[in-house]
Structure formats: C-alpha cells, structure tokens
C-alpha cells in the first residue's frame, strides 16, 4: 500500500471538497497533515483567494455551485476567512483521527456557523471527548508549526495538497491526476512531462 501525506487547512472549502472524495484513492495509506495556509502564503509571498475582491466573490459562488452539482451538504461559514488555528490544533489534539477531521469539517462547512466564535472549538472538543486545554498545549502548537514547515520544505504552496512519492497534487480537482499517478508511477517520465517540468521562464513580472 502506498503512503501519502495530505496537507489541508479547515479554512479552505477546497480542502472540504477533497476530504469527501479521498476514499476514491486506491490502496493509499493517508497521513493527515493539518497546516496553516497563511504560513504557506507568507512563505511564497502570495495572496489567498479571499484577499482579492473579485476572486473572493467568484470563489464563493463557484464553491456554492459545485457543491450543488455534487449534491453535497455545504454552506459557507457566517464570515470568511476565519482563524483556523483552534480547529487545526483540535485535529492534532485528536491525533488527526478521521472522525475528528470529519466532525470539524462538517461543523465549519455545512452549518453556516460563525467559525470565529470562540465557543465553537470548545463545543467540538467536548463532542470529540478532547480536553480543551490540550488545544493550547505547547506540543500541539509545535506540531502545527512542524507540519507547516515540513509542507513548505516539500514545496507545498496551497491546500489541499497530496504528496505521493515526492510528487505534489494540488487542489480538489487534482485527485484524478493523483489516481492516474498511482496507476502509473512513470506518468512524469515521458519526454513532454520532463520538458514542461523544466520549461524556462520567458519573462518575469516586476513586483514592487
């Protein structure tokens, strides 16, 4: 069975969409890695989709539409973006169990709840039988930083991202690509894949 790391942040609706389809990956042992998306953005000096006005509106509408197309329960939280750190730490405190991750995702992305309400992670911890004090333990905080730093070291630039055999598959829409790679580990070995992987930059935009 192939081992793979799945990097995600509860702030991302795309992470939620991918979460619902991870079972479609054949013969994979998934290691769930909560990370701080903002840490990736800071490292790569990027803006998130919600930080660009037009992209924010389009993203929220597209996510609402695609959830309807897939016939899945989905509703944006009362405000977005929100601070995901308490939820990421809660997942780590629960040893990243499937039950805990699923409970947190559904609480944030199906109910329209206020994710910024400090009472919500406490209620979720109680539901998961996790001592709320665990969320703020230094070991849990360190684990989140370690996961995020490891993701950056592996070249992860967005969430969700699957890392399989050193290859990265970014986004909910990359799962088909990941399945193809699992079926054929030589997928990136042909001449055209190698060519585009080393394609030179024709012109670079100057940033202020």
Q: Is residue 207, in this structure, part of any structural domain at all?
A: no
> What would the mean pLDDT of 104-119 be, rounded to a whole number?
97
Cβ–Cβ < 8 Å for 25, 175: yes
pLDDT digits (tens, 9 = 90+) for 6-37: 999 999 999 999 999 999 999 999 999 999 99
Q: Is residue 180, in this structure, part of any structural domain at all?
A: yes
Q: Is residue 74, in this structure, part of any structural domain at all?
A: yes
Token digits of residue 104: 């947190």
Unique residue bearing structure tokens 């996961």 = 147
Q: Is residue 98, in this structure, part of any structural domain at all?
A: yes
The string of DSSP codes covering 113-146 is --TT-THHHHHHHHHTT--GGGGG-HHHHHHHHH
Cβ–Cβ < 8 Å for 144, 92: yes
How many of the other CB atoms lie within 10 Å of CB of 158?
A: 21
Give 208's pLDDT tier (boundaries 50, 70, 90). Answer: low
Q: Is residue 190, in this structure, part of any structural domain at all?
A: yes
Crossing angle for the helix pair 138-153 and 85-93, to the nearest 10 degrees: 100
100 Cβ contact partners less than 8 Å away, ≥ 6 residues apart? 90, 91, 94, 128, 130
What is the spatial distance between Cα 116 and Cα 47, in angstroms, rounded to a whole number?
21
DSSP 8-state secondary structure symbol assigned to residue 165: T
Put simply, whether the predicted model's pTM sits higher than 0.85 gets the answer yes
SS3 204: coil
Domains held by the chain: number: 1
Q: Is residue 7, in this structure, part of any structural domain at all?
A: yes
pLDDT higher than threshold 80 for residue 207: no
Average pLDDT, the chain: 96
pLDDT digits (tens, 9 = 90+) for 122-142: 999 999 999 999 999 999 999
**What CATH number is associated with residue 135?**
3.40.30.10
**Boundaries of domain holding 138:** 2-197
Q: Is residue 77, in this structure, part of any structural domain at all?
A: yes
Unique residue bearing structure tokens 């803006």 = 47
What is the spatial distance between Cα 151 and Cα 41, in angstroms, rounded to a whole number?
12
Q: Is residue 119, in this structure, part of any structural domain at all?
A: yes
What is the spatial distance between Cα 156 and Cα 163, in angstroms, rounded to a whole number?
9
């Amino acid at each position: 069975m192939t081992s793979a790391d799945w990097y995600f942040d509860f702030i991302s609706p795309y992470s939620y969409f991918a979460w619902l389809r991870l079972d479609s990956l054949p013969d994979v042992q998934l290691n769930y890695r909560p990370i701080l998306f903002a840490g990736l953005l800071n490292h790569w000096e990027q803006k998130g989709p919600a930080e660009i006005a037009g992209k924010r509106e389009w993203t929220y509408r597209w996510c609402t539409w695609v959830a309807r197309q897939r016939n899945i329960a989905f509703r944006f939280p009362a405000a977005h973006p929100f601070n995901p750190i308490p939820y990421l730490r809660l997942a780590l405190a629960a040893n990243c169990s499937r039950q805990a991750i699923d409970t947190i995702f559904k609480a944030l992305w199906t109910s329209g709840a206020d994710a910024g309400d400090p009472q919500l992670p406490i209620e979720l911890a109680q539901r998961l039988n996790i001592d709320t004090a665990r969320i703020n333990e230094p070991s849990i905080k360190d684990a989140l930083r370690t996961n995020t730093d490891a993701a950056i070291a592996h070249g992860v630039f967005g969430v969700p991202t699957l890392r399989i055999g050193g290859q990265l598959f970014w986004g909910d829409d990359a799962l088909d690509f990941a399945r193809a790679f699992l079926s054929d580990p030589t997928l990136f070995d042909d001449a055209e894949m190698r060519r585009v992987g080393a394609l030179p930059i024709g012109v670079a935009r100057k940033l202020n």
